[in-house]
Amino acid sequence: MGLRHDIDTVYGLRHGMPKIIAIERKYDVKSTFFVRVEVIRSEIDGRMLKEIAEQNWEIGLHLINTVGDSSLLSPKGELELLKRKLAGVGIYGVTPCGSTIGFKGDVTWIIMDSLGLDYMEGHGMPSFKVNSFVFPTHLSLDIHYVRNFGEKEGYRKFKADLLLRLEENELATVLVHPEWFVRTVQGHGLMKIPLTLLRKGLMNKVYDRFLCEFKAKTKFKRYFDILSR
């Protein structure tokens, strides 16, 4: 099972990622963090990511410019900038970020494949031959299951879908965003403040339960480790 985390915000990087690392360290698990290059705002941010990479967590590119928009930094420019900011860290894979432009089917597959990385993951599978290995679409534990159905029912639905995916494919990938470990994934607008204070819809306990329950059933891996096998 591949474990994926998308770092979309500075807050998620600085405050959420350490909480994920602590939970995964508790279960002797390593995962892959896909990072929007623009959230690395300081040397301290870069050092945090370098440190977890040295401890064998994986860093990948969370691509912002998923359609090659000329008004944005080019996809290749994003990759090169990430490599410069994290000098010495190997970058092997790419996923599309959904918040700026989002995943746009064939166009995004072509752009991600053109980066020359070892693997990519989007939504579905490309309808044409690509050079990069394509991982099956992730199951989004936080922004799909917990946000839509709540912590208990959401986890129940997630578990059922995950077991089915593993039975059918023997491989599944699971996505959880770091920011939802410090902010609630539920509610809208100002409602998020009291829900966060009440610790409703935070992913800490849900993610801990998931790792605890599945640790004996499957092998958790970084994406690159799965690819290497």
**Residues of the chain with pLDDT > 70: what percent?**
100
Instruction: Give the DSSP H or E segment for 84.
Output: helix 75-85
DSSP for residue 221? B
- pLDDT at res. 228: 82
Which residue segments constitute the domains of the chain, with CATH numbers given?
2-219 (3.20.20.370)
pLDDT in tens, 151-207: 999 999 999 999 999 999 989 999 999 999 999 998 888 788 888 887 888 999 999
Which backbone phi and psi does 205 adopt, to 5 degrees?
-70, -40
Is the alpha carbon torsion for 228, 29, 90, 9 positive or negative? positive
- With a CB cutoff of 8 Å and minimum separation 6, the contacts of 6 are 33, 34, 62, 95, 97, 175, 177
- pLDDT at res. 229: 75
Local confidence band at 91 (pLDDT 50, 70, 90 cut-offs): very high
pLDDT in tens, 98-156: 999 999 999 999 999 999 999 999 999 999 999 999 999 999 999 999 999 999 999 99
Cβ neighbour number for residue 92 with a 10 Å cutoff: 19
Instruction: Give the DSSP H or E segment for 32.
Output: strand 32-35
What pTM, to 2 d.p., does this model score? 0.96
Q: How many alpha carbons lie under 13 Å from residue 211 in its C-beta half-sphere?
A: 24
